[in-house]
Amino acid sequence: MKNLAIHNFKLKDFLSNSDFKDFVLTNKNPQFWENYISSNPENLDVLYNAREIIAEMNSIYGDLEKSDQEVDQNWDEFKLKTKATPIKQLHRPTKRFRLYNIAKVSACVIILAAFITISYQLYTNVEQEEISNSVEYYTASAEIKNITLPDSTLVVLNGNSKLLVHAGFSATQQRIVELEGQGYFEVTKAINTDNQFIIKTNNSKVTVLGTKFDLINTASGLELSLDEGHVNLEYGQEGLDSKNVNILPGEAVKIDPSGNMTHQTMKNTRINSSWKTGFFEYESQPLSKIFSDVERQFNINFENKSQALLDKKINGVIPTSNLEEALIVLEILIDKKLKYKNESTITIQ
């Protein structure tokens, strides 16, 4: 190990450093990094976040003899030796600032400026047998909320999303909700045909009896990927030119704003709901999809997206809970600089 000037390392520097990658994945030269933390304890959180991203990448795309359990065990031992307890989750800062060079952003400053997300909930007592009035749930940027409905259905609501539960929703009658944004549904099995679980969107209706699936409903269209069970999707204007498609486990459906549908079989539908674990995961996905996910998650917009860049396919993981971390990783994946034009617009250089 060379005696590198790493006392000022930021997240991007750790992610790009081959010696640090070797340490995370193979526990190579742990004494060096123990000494580093002893001399630079203020950088532990940055180092920890870099480790999380590298380990997540390895768990999906790695081809090492070292298992995920061994990687975690080595890291636990390292934390004990350094007597440190790093902060695992960061949040988007609320202060407006211009990021002239994202690679130079200090994770410590981000932590101190942490944004405590607040979800607005009009009604809180959802454990009753029947909801007498409609209930709305919201999530802020980068927030993930777990919601348990009266029938024990679990909904995981992603950032910048809204779930509307219709009045009359109960464990024994028809169950109707509406979704804007992204959510993962683990629907309790219906007790009879009158107990169907229905998700309504602008131009579609998802009907299930009991299943697990990820659903995105935005102005850009609808995406549904099914992990378990059976789903019927009706799209188009109801009663006029509506169409139906049955979706089976391992299948995914996309419908664009014009009503055009693509129906495909996926090797791993879990990728579409990976955001629940704190990371978007991508396998040979075009950057158009990745930009769209990041824009929706953090309520931002990228400009200067050339068609060649949008069509480029990559593998990678991007953090979902912190915008600055997401942009740093995205810079590495696309090999381009990203700078703030204003509070909500990122320019690709």
Whether pTM exceeds 0.85: no
pLDDT, mean of residues 124-141: 73
The verdict on 206 and 284 lying in the same domain is no
Q: Given a cut of 60, is residue 146 above it in pLDDT?
A: yes
The verdict on 221 and 314 lying in the same domain is no
The verdict on 252 and 280 lying in the same domain is no
CATH of the domain at 342: 3.55.50.30
The verdict on 264 and 289 lying in the same domain is no
pLDDT score recorded for residue 100: 31
Q: How confident is the model at residue 342 (pLDDT cuts 50, 70, 90)?
A: very high
The verdict on 289 and 187 lying in the same domain is no
What whole-number distance in Å separates Cα of residue 29 and Cα of residue 23?
6
pLDDT score recorded for residue 103: 35
More confident of the two residues 267 and 197: 197
94 occurs within a structural domain = no
145-169 residues labelled b (16+ CB within 10 A) or e (exposed): bebebbbebebbbbbbbbbebbeeb
3 occurs within a structural domain = no
pLDDT tens per residue across span 1-28: 444 567 778 888 888 888 888 888 888 8
314 occurs within a structural domain = yes
Supply the DSSP symbol for 344: T
The verdict on 182 and 302 lying in the same domain is no
177 occurs within a structural domain = yes
- Domain-terminating residue out of 238, 270, 302: 270
Instruction: Determine which of 71-75, 133-137, 180-184 has the lowest per-residue pLDDT on average.
Output: 71-75
The verdict on 336 and 257 lying in the same domain is no
The verdict on 239 and 160 lying in the same domain is yes
pLDDT score recorded for residue 124: 37
Instruction: Determine which of 18-27, 63-72, 114-123, 212-221 has the lowest per-residue pLDDT on average.
Output: 114-123
pLDDT score recorded for residue 273: 93
158 occurs within a structural domain = yes
3-state secondary structure 29-91: CHHHHHHHHHHCHHHHHHHHHHHHHHHHHHHHHCCCCCCHHHHHHHHHHHHHHHCCCCCCCCC
Give the pair of three-digit tokens for residue 220: 């850009």
65 occurs within a structural domain = yes
Contact 57, 63 (CB under 8 A): no
Q: Which residue from 100, 26, 29 is spatially nearest to 63, judged by alpha carbons? A: 26
pLDDT score recorded for residue 108: 33
pLDDT tens per residue across span 286-317: 999 999 999 999 999 999 889 999 999 999 89
The verdict on 290 and 336 lying in the same domain is yes
pLDDT score recorded for residue 51: 86
170-178: long-range pairs with CB below 8 Å, 24+: 170/129, 170/130, 170/131, 171/129, 171/195, 173/130, 174/198, 175/149, 175/151, 176/200, 177/149
pLDDT score recorded for residue 228: 94
Q: Given a cut of 80, is residue 224 above it in pLDDT?
A: yes
The verdict on 315 and 245 lying in the same domain is no
Q: Given a cut of 60, is residue 122 above it in pLDDT?
A: no
Supply the DSSP symbol for 97: -
Range of the domain at 222: 135-270
pLDDT tens per residue across span 164-197: 999 999 889 889 999 999 999 999 999 988 899 9
Count of domains for the chain: 3
Q: How confident is the model at residue 112 (pLDDT cuts 50, 70, 90)?
A: very low
161 occurs within a structural domain = yes
The verdict on 167 and 190 lying in the same domain is yes
- Domain-terminating residue out of 255, 270, 285: 270
Percent of the chain past pLDDT 90, that is, above it, reads 50
The verdict on 153 and 254 lying in the same domain is yes
Q: Given a cut of 50, is residue 95 above it in pLDDT?
A: no
CATH of the domain at 141: 2.60.120.1440
Instruction: Determine which of 58-72, 73-87, 203-217 has the lowest per-residue pLDDT on average.
Output: 73-87
6 occurs within a structural domain = no
- Domain-terminating residue out of 217, 251, 270: 270
